[in-house]
Amino acid sequence: MGMTITEKILARAAGREWVAPGDLIMARVDFCLGNDITAPVAIDEFEKAGFERVFDAERIALIPDHFTPCKDIKTAMLVKQMREFARRHEIVHYYDVGRVGVEHALLPELGLVGPGDVVIGADSHTCTYGALGAFATGVGSTDLAGAMATGEVWFRVPASLRFVFEGELQPYVGGKDLILHTIGEIGVDGALYRAMEFTGPVIETLSMDNRQTMANMAIEAGAKNGIIAPDRITREYIEGRFRREPRYYESDADAAYESEYRWRGEDIPLLVAKPHLPSNVARADELADTRIDQVVIGSCTNGRIEDLRAAAEVLRGQKVAGDVRCIVIPATQAIYQQAMDEGLVDVFLAAEAVFSAPTCGPCLGGHMGVLAEGERAVSTTNRNFVGRMGHVKSEVYLAGPYVAAASAVAGHVATPDQIQTRRAA
């Protein structure tokens, strides 16, 4: 019997010809990362254990993105700790204000992670890099400390689930809707410690931006990792970008999957995840009675250039509703520059939205858009748990950029078609 793409990558990293679900392995990591919340804890553990040097100063990234720029003294001290550790150990990939971006958009953009890699990060959305054909997963800060010192980490090999998307997508439907549909169908624990492998004709036509959105939210179904086999789109994305030699894997025809799911793209509408779980999914066009106070377009899930283009397509010639705050956050400096070059920033400002420097900020209720008691937000972020973006009595509705932008104009959950109908009238 053959192996899945996830099993092949882990076998290579463990120096073995074969692995199977449930095997315990010690794997060599190709890259590891931490941010301004998790890296300081890892640094403390690294130093407490008496480690004197990192395993490879070019295969570690420290990225203070969650509270960028620092919002208070406490966060400034955390970033200072990261900066000083990076200096002591000559860590190459430390990125601060002016160079920083949201980590899971920045690392692929810089070519630091790629096909066939084993990537760990002390952040649950490290699974984003599975869009490139990597095994990428979040770990605890203690595991990051050990990996920074030894370059190794242990795993239990996950069983794989196969998600096949056939047919064609409806207008405006993208990666966010596909992953919300998936989580809505299987639940927030439906892929618990499993590999979610996305495939099929719809996936083959998805851009890398949309693929990263899907892999990013695999953790919201409880998955160990999400992954898409490399293809032409992957090769085009990494060409001239990836700094190491790519390793291309794909699942064998006779690989064993624990379960397989099949859906048709044309059956998937624009979706919204209502409070307080990503699995609490509903059609966007059925939520017009849901008034909102804020819209956030950005994050490691939907802060890439295609997301900003989608939002601008809806906002062009429109105004954000008078009682709604609309915050647009590009995920990296390069995306910021591209949005300026394409005139997208002019569209956002003309619509009376705020355009921010790259930051995770409001996604975790950190800053740049914290919600008060009783407020509702439509957000292109990845979690809508109780208190996620602020007060425990606030609410977050998760959506893609088209729905988010349309909702900002309407003042309630809306779709682009609903905005166009209103414009025509």
pLDDT digits (tens, 9 = 90+) for 173-217: 999 999 999 999 999 999 999 999 999 999 999 999 999 999 999
Instruction: Please say if the pLDDT value at position 407 is more than 90.
Output: yes
Domains in the chain: ranges and CATH: 5-263 (3.30.499.10), 272-424 (3.30.499.10)
For 44-54, how does the pLDDT look when each residue is reduced to its tens digit (9 = 90+)? 999 999 999 99
Instruction: Please say if the pLDDT value at position 423 is more than 70.
Output: no
pLDDT for the residue numbered 425 = 53
Instruction: Please say if the pLDDT value at position 424 is more than 80.
Output: no
Integer Cα distance of 190 and 224 in angstroms: 11
Give the amino acid at 156: R
Integer Cα distance of 352 and 386 in angstroms: 29
Over the chain, what is the mean pLDDT? 96
What's the rounded mean pLDDT across residues 279-285?
97
Instruction: Please say if the pLDDT value at position 1 is more than 90.
Output: no
Instruction: Please say if the pLDDT value at position 362 is more than 60.
Output: yes
What's the rounded mean pLDDT across residues 225-250?
96
Integer Cα distance of 198 and 184 in angstroms: 16
What's the rounded mean pLDDT across residues 216-244?
97
pTM of the model: 0.95
Integer Cα distance of 248 and 231 in angstroms: 9
Ranges 153-162, 337-346, 358-367: which has the least confidence = 358-367
Q: Which tokens belong to 164?
A: 């096949």
Strand ranges for 229-324 from DSSP E:
259-264, 271-273, 281-283, 294-297
pLDDT for the residue numbered 68 = 87
